[in-house]
Structure 1
Amino acid sequence: MTTTQTRPAPASPERPARRGLAARISLGKVFAPVPSEFLLISSTAVLLTGFGLVMVLAATSATATAAGQEPYEAMLKQLVFASIGLPVMFIVSRFPLAFWKKAAWPLLLAAVVFQLLVFTPLGVEAYGNRNWIEIAGLQAQPSEFLKLALALWVGLILLRKQTNLGVWHHVFIPVIPVSVAVIATVLAGHDLGTVIILVLVVLGALFFSGVKLRLFILPAILGAVMLAVFAITSPNRVARIMSFLDQRCVDYFDSCYQPLHGIWALAGGGIFGRGLGNSREKYDWLPAAPNDYIFAIVGEELGLIGCAVVLALFALFAVGAFHVIRKTDDPFVRVVAGAITVWIVGQALINIGVVLRVFPVLGVPLPFMSQGGTSLLSGLIACGVLLSFARTLPVKRSAQPVRSPRRVASR
């Protein structure tokens, strides 16, 4: 007896046959597993940002109340930028690697044009530095975006010269002339702290590109000489350096005022701190408490334990970033990720070193934590680039149990 097998009817044009399968594939891409480096970098960035919001509130509530303002005003402004920056970080993490290679030149040009706005009527000068612009009552620091744009551009140029990195003129041209021109736009505004970070970005990119040591030393010496000349030509910076070298710091009411109060804040916190919100230095004794000296407020209110937590979070961030650098096979990813890591981790170490009086006062904020919307936004976007690179790494899948073959029933 023969049976007739009927074929399924073709799907009608109004109802595609594989819509359910397509939906499952689409959701699979959205919820695809990510490498552990992605989770490590993103979680530490989120934790540091949240920690920073709490400390900005703790550092500004007293002075805001004394000035007749709402105690939450500074924190709410920072929260707005965090609410924008964190989603943007995860959106940027979805961008493909090819996008960053194509966008390197346009982003650098746009960042330079944005930086040049500080020399227009929109520019604002503060503490001898002209590095801000003000539009409709909102201030921004364009040089913060130069850091990421310069890292991407140097990474692209060194990628194209990958086979010629042993020849000095291929390494230096056009990397050094263009980098010096970009840094000069910040140098003209007398912002030494940002100039130091930009120099570190370029040196970090050269180091992770695999340039020979003898070729790497020359740009390092050039950068050091440029920074030294820039420092000694400013009386204000000379005073900061001299007060840093003077361990007694007798000029209390001038250049020593803020460094001494930063040290006193850390000393007053001890091991366990005075308690969250109980800082004494934030009562207008420490002028830059929510900005460059927020680490001092952390030490005073949360003690050595709080400072250790901050250092541990930055260390975990560095571990995740260095794993991306080590595991990638793409020279562009290695160079740009190295430059971003040197920027964020190096800037954090410089800021903490200034508070501890290891370095003279440089005006460098603590990434993710210091008050400042532009700095927070640029740092989170840079993290998004690192997360985009982390997505290109292979994901280790757990071994599936071996199933025994099914027995085929005999007819």
Structure 2
Amino acid sequence: MRRSILTQVFSGDRVFLSIVFILAIGGIAIFSSATLGLLTQANTNVTRMIITQIVFGLGGGIIAFATFRIISISLLRKVAPWLFGLSLLLTILVFIPGLGVYAYGATRWLNLKFITLQPAEFLKVGVVLFVAWFLARNTKRLSEYKYGLLPFLGIIGAPALVLIKQPNTSTILLIGVTAVAMYFVAGAPKRDIGILALLSILLLGAVVFTHPYILKRFNTFVYPTNVSKLKGGYQIRQSLIAIGNGGITGRGFGESVQKFSYLPDPTGDSIFSVYAEEFGFAGTMILVLLFFSLAARGIYISARSHDRFSAYAALGFSVLIATQAFINMGAMLKVIPLTGLPLPFISHGGTALLVVLAESGFILNVAAHNNKKKAKGIIPVST
């Protein structure tokens, strides 16, 4: 029985499973190296951080991975609206005094005494599953506003209103990109592109007007001349120094210098810079290739699915993980403004690691069903 369960959990698509395994185990190693940079900071329990990441993040993530790998997809389809509602409720709970934790200029965490959670991570899963449920039910009617664009805007608008209050604009961006990708792959009319583009511009203007820190990030991106530790330009400058220090092959595992008192939050969104300094351009290209391969394989699995809900959800999770990874790396390379989004599988955050492993488990679940059905698939793809 035990062998049968293990065989089921680790079956489906060996290529995808191998990529997830490399990112998860490699991520813990990179995180452990980056935490050494916190030894110079007072009141930081490095040992506790590592244990929490391994026990809750990786340990809990393995359980979540196994659960989403073997759970009935038809059951997930039925409860998708409820999971969305529950994840939205959890995200709202951060505004309750005594439960919500205010840090880094935002209220994004829940303090449950024995552990701290970031509900927005669960909200990502809830949104993808609910959008997939909605699209699967209305694929042939998306050209009608009352079955297509209007309810779609409501689905992504509700989380956006909650997240903007925290504020958590980077997650709004991530959810929006993912949901829109799913919407158009499902066959939404081209006219909706213009409507969504116009609404996005108006929303961006309103957000910038009400949240000046976003405009400051753009200014820092264009003019990163202020290198004070209290200013955003400092992080960009130190990130580029770390990446430059890595050269072609890197300084070696654990040998990063910038993680010691130079890079702000070396275990958070700056962890890519630590990795680049230790493994160089060659290592960076390997990491980029891993995330690209994860997305490509996930989309391929999605395209082969016989079930619309499975196809759209697998696509959504693939886009979600890859987009977050490339946004993080792009920000550290000064290709785009800073967003604060962590690097999937690698950055500090037990909730984030648990969730990304759950998402990966679902994609593998879809792959296993594809192998059983030998179906042609919903989305055309060459083999």
Establish whether TM, by shorter chain, passes 0.5. Answer: yes
Separation in 2, partners of 1:356, 1:196:
19
Which amino acid in structure 1 is aligned with residue 35 of structure 2? T
Q: Which residue of 1 aligns with 2:275?
A: 298
Which amino acid in structure 2 is aligned with residue 227 of structure 1? L
Post-superposition Cα deviations, 1:305-353, rounded to whole Å, max 9, x if no partner, equal 2111211211221121011122123221222122111111111110010
Asked if residue 88 in structure 1 is aligned to residue 88 in structure 2, the reply is no
Asked if residue 169 in structure 1 is aligned to residue 169 in structure 2, the reply is no
SS in 2 for 1:256: helix
Separation in 2, partners of 1:171, 1:70:
50
Asked if residue 74 in structure 1 is aligned to residue 49 in structure 2, the reply is yes
Q: Which residue of 1 aligns with 2:323?
A: 346
Q: Which residue of 2 aligns with 1:400?
A: none
Separation in 1, partners of 2:373, 2:132:
27
Separation in 1, partners of 2:322, 2:201:
19
| Shift in Å, 1:395 | 5.5
The CA RMSD over aligned residues, in Å, is 2.3
CA contact (8 A) 2:9 2:66 kept: no
Q: Which residue of 1 aligns with 2:28?
A: 53
Asked if residue 212 in structure 1 is aligned to residue 189 in structure 2, the reply is yes
Separation in 1, partners of 2:354, 2:6:
24
| Shift in Å, 1:372 | 0.4
Post-superposition Cα deviations, 1:349-396, rounded to whole Å, max 9, x if no partner, equal 100100011111111011111110111111111111111211110369
Post-superposition Cα deviations, 1:226-276, rounded to whole Å, max 9, x if no partner, equal 134213432222111111112xx2211122000110010000110111111
CA contact (8 A) 1:208 1:334 kept: no
TM-score (norm 1): 0.84
TM-score (norm 2): 0.90
When residues 170 and 45 of structure 1 are mapped into structure 2, their CA distance, relative to the original with a 3 A threshold, is same
CA contact (8 A) 1:295 1:355 kept: yes
When residues 66 and 245 of structure 1 are mapped into structure 2, their CA distance, relative to the original with a 3 A threshold, is closer
| Shift in Å, 1:285 | 0.7
Post-superposition Cα deviations, 1:113-138, rounded to whole Å, max 9, x if no partner, equal 11111100111112221111112152
Q: Percent identity?
A: 27
Q: Which ranges in structure 2 are unaligned for 5 or more consecutive residues?
A: 375-383
Which amino acid in structure 2 is aligned with residue 145 of structure 1? F
Separation in 1, partners of 2:7, 2:215:
54
| Shift in Å, 1:75 | 1.9
Where in structure 2 are the equivalents of 1:95-110 lying within 5 Å? 95-110=71-86
CA contact (8 A) 2:242 2:258 kept: yes
Post-superposition Cα deviations, 1:93-128, rounded to whole Å, max 9, x if no partner, equal 111221111110110111011111110011111222
Higher fraction of helix: 2
Separation in 1, partners of 2:5, 2:20:
24
Q: Which residue of 1 aligns with 2:237?
A: 260
Separation in 1, partners of 2:336, 2:210:
18
Q: Which residue of 1 aligns with 2:337?
A: 360
Q: Which residue of 1 aligns with 2:361?
A: 384
Q: Which residue of 1 aligns with 2:88?
A: 112
CA contact (8 A) 1:168 1:215 kept: no
CA contact (8 A) 1:124 1:132 kept: yes
When residues 395 and 109 of structure 1 are mapped into structure 2, their CA distance, relative to the original with a 3 A threshold, is closer
Which amino acid in structure 1 is aligned with residue 355 of structure 2? S
Which amino acid in structure 1 is aligned with residue 14 of structure 2? L
Higher radius of gyration, 1 or 2? 1
CA contact (8 A) 2:217 2:232 kept: yes
SS in 2 for 1:63: helix
CA contact (8 A) 1:325 1:337 kept: yes
Where in structure 2 are the equivalents of 1:102-181 lying within 5 Å? 102-121=78-97, 122-136=99-113, 138-181=115-158
Separation in 2, partners of 1:32, 1:130:
40
